[in-house]
Structure 1
Amino acid sequence: MKNEVSKLFASIILAVIIVGIGYFILMGISNYVGWYGYEKWKYRVGTDSIENSKKRNVFVKELNYKIIDGKNLNDFKFTPYIERAFRYGKHSSRETVIDKYTKFPYNLSYERNKNDSIALDIINKEKLDSSNVVWGYLKNPSLKDTIIIKIEGAKDKNNEEKSGIIKIW
């Protein structure tokens, strides 16, 4: 009887070890496919906070801004800044590779409260040197003109929508 209990215990331990090793192998394969499959080091990225920008040594300067006609923006946090363009390193998103081969070596970025259900839309994209849906790109570490961003948000508990205009200079 004692021998049977020992065999059962050994079988359980062996099964746990096999499942554990299998889990780590699958996790490694998933990480490899996820990172190398998407080739994340090939694409330009940006930070979402001044603190992260400074940690990566890409922060250039904070910009001035003013919110106009803001409605229901009690906890709204927004700080625009300029940072150098960069990509992730080939083997890790912790690595920072400054993007030297671009016409637009600076990003217009902003730090904001991610808990808000708010969309920010750059109204006058033509004032930037280049842009896409999320980022503004710059040839120089300064703005040529005032940038206007429209704030659109979900309704709050009083059924009032968050809205406003941000001017950045």
Structure 2
Amino acid sequence: MLVTSERDQQFHDFVRARRAGLVRTATLLTAGDAHLAEDLVQSTLTKLYVAWPAFQRAHSPEGYVRRVLVNALTDERRRLWWRRERPTAELPDRPHTAAEPARGELDDGLRTALRDLPPKMRAAVVFRYFYDLDVAETADALGCSHGTVKSQTARALDRLREALQSNALFLRQGVTQ
């Protein structure tokens, strides 16, 4: 018979209840990279297990988890700089469909625009607009000031608008030629 501690049981229950939500958040933070999202969640859960007593004492457990997830993303980006995408002269073959993205999924234009944002800027947008967190909760998750959240969000939205408008213009030109 496997004997587990109360701490292990609490952690197990937490993982069963929250893992799917963490994967969704990580997928948004990585602009749709499902493999990296799974890696981030695994790293986050490992760090959370080690710091389980601190997590339980946290004033905001949700904020604590978000912060660990964002830190894991930042660590991953710093550590594995060589895994970043590189531009190529040829586009990969990909089926072109006019189907609407499924509920909760990002369309290709938005996913690409999000992917082009720096990680902290992307995280600010994800937490503010996908998860509807206020400025204070987002600042707590990112470990920065309220002003930084506001400026990062404003810059990110400007970049997203520009990218999406450029994409729309490109598509219109391609249709008329």
Instruction: State the TM-score bracket (shorter-chain normalisation).
Output: under 0.3
Q: TM-score, normalised by structure 1?
A: 0.24
Structure with bigger helix share is: 2
